[in-house]
Amino acid sequence: MSAVPLLSCAIWLPIAAGLLVLAAGLAGNAPLARKFALFGAAAGLFVAAPLYFGFDVTTPAMQFVESKPWIPLFRINYHLGVDGLSAAFVMLNCFITLIVVFGSRVSSQKYAPSCDAVFLVMSGLFNGIFSALDGMLFYVFFEASLIPLYLLIGIWGGPGRVRAAFKFFLFTLMGSLPLLVAMIYLFFYSGGNFSIAAWHLMPIDKVSQTWVFFAFFMAFAVKTPMWPLHTWLPEAHVEAPTGGSIVLAAIALKLGAYGFLRLALPVVPDASREFAWIMVALSLAAVVYIGLVALAQMDMKKLVAYSSVAHMGFVTLGIFMLEAPGGASAASSALGIEGALIQMISHGFVAGAMFFCIGVLYERTHSRQIADYGGITRAMPKFAVFFMLFSMANIGLPGTSGFVGEILVILSAAEYNYGVAFVAASTLILSAAYTLWMYKRVMFGPVTNPAVAALNDIDVREFLVLSLLALGVLGIGLYPRSLSEIMRLSVSELLRHIAISKVF
Amino acid sequence: MIFPETRFALPDFQPACAEIFVLFMICLILMTSLFIKEKARGTLHFLAQAALIGAAALTCTASGAGTVKRAFSGMFVADMMADLLKLAIYLTISLTFFYSRAYVAGKLPRARGEYYALTLIATLGMMVVVSAGNFVTLYVGLELLSLPIYALVALERDSSRAAEAAMKYFVLGALASAFMLYGISMIYGATGTLDISAVAEGFSRNRGDRATAVFGLVFLVSGIAFKLGLAPFHMWVPDVYHGAPLSVALLISSAPKIAVFAFAVRVLINGLFPLSQDWRAMLLALVVLSMALGNLAAIAQTNFRRMLAYSSISHMGFMLLGLVSGVIDGNAKNMINAVSASMFYLLTYVLSSAGAFGVLVLLPDPDGDSGEISGLAGLGKRSPVLAATMMTLMFSMAGIPFFAGFFAKFSVLVAVVAAGSFWLAALAVFFSLVGAYYYLRIVKVMYFDPLPDGARNIETPFSMKVLVAANGLAVALLGIFPNALMFLCVKSLSFSVFA
């Protein structure tokens, strides 16, 4: 255990840097603000690196723990720590923040320091969500992270930004308010305790489990988002600026699934098992129906947004194929959850990269319509290679990160139920169809639009960003142990825990 | 003839020294304003602030720190709750004076002396209400608080909007006062005493008069509901918030609520706790109605002042939710937590509301005074400090962490869940979701909407920028470190009302 409170640093360093950026921006010193922003993002990653590389893979226990009383009156503690479920997310978040801040276009006249500030603050809040071990602390970060995203979409978004921002905020708030009530209920149920670890251990009766499960469901299903609560997401994605879309897809979408793993499964295991079929059904609906919807999109950003929903359906499917008599074994559940976790990390890289690529095109032509493009390969060969790689990862081609998660979830599904496995596997066809069809229409064919012929290939900054993302995609694809090693013990500990009924 | 031995003992003035000091300062300000030259009228502001600082110092030194002191034959109580609430009142009134200094000098140049004197008389009324130990003192304090405010609303003599608001406020307010007086007389009839703590004892001895007491209670509760602006006694709130001079609306929206809360605590919990089942049911109806009406009507408003009025109706409903939840089981510990949750909610709300009106007061003339929401368009560019503060306040009122409003909402919800009324918690949560919409709309207008044509940057004096920023920062800091104030609320209640 190191003496430096790494998690606190990972939360508050970016936030402090964000406030400095804001101050420098208000003072009119944009270059200084830019320096602060880059420094803050780099510092965040620097602080988070030891969390990943110094992670002890031989224990499922919480690591890098910090605990101080925060609001003693309600026994709320400032309690932080990471285990195999969350360590990789903190790292991913800091990495994506650096990508977003570094990758944002600064040369243009419209560079807004406050935009970088919002990214940094958001990054700190997300780190808080992933490392909070106190229910209220989790909730506070969970809800506070709405504000930066709301501002990001509303201020720097596209023409329909106001509607998208409101829809995003109110939808998510609608989900998280029942969560607040459920947490207060658990506080009393546990005899006055907000500690998540204590909630894991306490027995809890059937009826309460059901209510609490559906409160969790509201919050996390909206956030994930699961079909049919996903409607805010495509709108938010389309209207958000490029950086906002990247963060939304790469990190914000993971919060819901992470919430299911951290809270729903271990706190109310019996209800989770009982209603797992609902989750599986909704997940399959997302995979198939949203996959088909993605096929019909004319707007690239919308297409990738729907593909994100479909991929997140895969994640929730992996999480909820729980061990049941006559159904899956513990080993296959473990496979499913591990697959879901890897899929989440992988999707962070892939979707982030896809949105960055669309941003690259949009900055040049100011159009996201597939019909406006065609023949990009001729004008931007380097870009076309990268876009190809990420499209392949989106499909789940072996060797890319997308493959690992999908194959694990499908393997798990095969043992769970052949019908489920069959429907889930249809994603391989659907995602290939919509991704490749988009790639074909945008990249190949004759150049019909004169604006496309005049395009410049990616510059050094874009090349660097795309290479880093590509490195992540290939790294996980070729050496998935780098992730699964960290997760394995925590996942099996989680499954061992939820196998025991908490009903008394 | 044998007279009983009459001995005149000088009452102990020490517990009430702050009140006496404020009274002295009011006279001083009135006299000064008669004779002072037009140019030197700025000193009135300093005198008024000095009155508040002096009162704060006296309240602190005279404080018994946890003991309950009674004076004037039990008519006057100085306990820790009174001290805490009085300090909060001084702070909000002082904020009010700072915010409205330039406004008053510009808009009401003739009535500057009256403005400060009347506001301080209202402050004195609040102090008396907060420290009342007897129904008579309560009533006197309440009138002392209300009458100057009626006059203040009408201070802008040539504004028909203000005159209408004042008339409406006065007529309805007088009616509410009459209600209250009638209720008090019923309580007196039922228990034979007007001393608040003796009333509670009276019930145990005098069992037969419960019906009379409940009859009186109805009037008392309606009076409280009127003064707090709870639906369906809320009619005056939007008109007065909209019609009164801005600096007066700022005053009405903040400090008096603290006094009325103290009134409710003293009457309902200290005095009429034996009737708690009855007043709980009455308040519950008011609470639910206020949350529903306030939040729904606020959505439809195009005027910021009216929106804040409806938002205050819903907030007062939410605040009383705590008080209501304390009653269900007789457990005194839950009661303290519930009432202190209400108190914390109220204090953070008052700070936010004063800030919101404060920003409005500082806006340039047509936008600030009319208070149209569209006048805030592009504020994020025109004045980053005012806009950032307003955004903080709006998120706080919407109950989003890390702002004070979140922990206020949280602590009230804890009280509600502790009482086991889940449907009430669900309802409260639902209406706070509805409420989030119109607070977000203000943020949207300030930051997302394009700058109106010909909009210019707003020049705000540096000192005012600092003040506004400090107000916003206080709301944010209370959201990150709420424990100290929460603890103070619990402590003050356990040493006074629940001693």
- What pLDDT, in 10s, does the model give residues A378-437? 888 888 888 889 998 988 888 888 888 888 888 888 888 888 888 888 888 888 888 888
- Residues on chain B bordering chain A, Cβ-to-Cβ distance under 8 angstroms: 380, 384, 395, 400-402, 406-407, 410-411, 413-414, 417-418, 422, 425-426, 429-430, 432-433, 436-437, 440, 443-444, 447-448, 482-483, 486-487, 490
pLDDT, position B98 = 92
Is residue A104 a part of any domain in this protein?
no
Is residue A318 a part of any domain in this protein?
yes
Structure tokens at B333: 């510990």
Q: Which of A74, A166, A180 sits opposite B440 (nearest CB)?
A: A166
Mean pLDDT computed over B272-293: 89
pLDDT, position A445 = 79
Cα–Cα dist A488/A372, whole Å: 46
Q: Which helix (H) or strand (E) holds A82?
A: strand A76-82
pLDDT, position A1 = 46
**Partner-chain contact B413 A180, CB within 8 Å:** yes
- State the smallest CA–CA distance between residue A469 and chain B in angstroms: 32
Number of domains present in the structure of chain A: 1
Is residue A411 a part of any domain in this protein?
yes
- State the smallest CA–CA distance between residue B314 and chain A in angstroms: 17
Q: Which domain holds residue A266?
A: 145-498
Is residue A225 a part of any domain in this protein?
yes
Does ipTM surpass 0.95 in this model?
Answer: no
Answer with the residue of higher pLDDT: B411 or B72: B411
**Partner-chain contact A169 B429, CB within 8 Å:** no
DSSP string, A428-446: HHHHHHHHHHHHHHHHSS-
**Partner-chain contact A155 B487, CB within 8 Å:** no
Residue in chain B nearest A158 by alpha carbon = B448
pLDDT, position B53 = 94
Distances (CA, A) of A2 to A5, A55, A327, B48, B58: 7, 11, 43, 56, 51
Is residue A407 a part of any domain in this protein?
yes
Residue numbers of chain A with a pLDDT score lower than 50: 1, 107
**Partner-chain contact B414 A170, CB within 8 Å:** no
pLDDT, position B320 = 92
Cα–Cα dist B253/B270, whole Å: 26
- B222-236 pLDDT, tens per residue? 999 999 989 889 989
pLDDT, position B343 = 93
Cα–Cα dist B254/B392, whole Å: 17
Is residue A438 a part of any domain in this protein?
yes
Percent of chain B with pLDDT strictly greater than 70: 95
How far from the centroid of its chain's Cα atoms is residue B284's Cα?
Answer: 20
Is residue A190 a part of any domain in this protein?
yes
Check pLDDT > 70 for residue B354: yes
- State the smallest CA–CA distance between residue A360 and chain B in angstroms: 24
* pLDDT band, very low/low/confident/very high, at B329 (cuts 50, 70, 90): low
Cα–Cα dist B101/B46, whole Å: 10
List the one residue out of B98, B62, B104, B97 whose CA is nearest residue B83. B62
Q: Which of A169, A184, A188 sits opposite B440 (nearest CB)?
A: A169
Asked if A98 and A44 count as a contact pair (C-beta separation under 8 A), the reply is yes
pLDDT, position B208 = 56
**Partner-chain contact A143 B406, CB within 8 Å:** yes
For residue B399, give the 3-state DSSP assignment: coil
Interface probe, candidates B429, B430, B437, chain A, greatest A C-beta count within 10 A: B429
Check pLDDT > 60 for residue B381: yes
Percent of chain B with pLDDT strictly greater than 90: 52
Lowest mean pLDDT among B55-59, B187-191, B319-323, B481-485: B187-191
- B21-43 pLDDT, tens per residue? 999 999 999 999 888 887 777 88
Residue in chain B nearest A146 by alpha carbon = B400
Mean pLDDT computed over B365-389: 83
Asked if B266 and B196 count as a contact pair (C-beta separation under 8 A), the reply is yes
Cα–Cα dist A14/A251, whole Å: 16
Q: Which of A72, A136, A155 sits opposite B447 (nearest CB)?
A: A155
Is residue A336 a part of any domain in this protein?
yes
**Partner-chain contact B448 A162, CB within 8 Å:** yes
Average pLDDT value over all residues in chain B: 88
Asked if A320 and A284 count as a contact pair (C-beta separation under 8 A), the reply is no
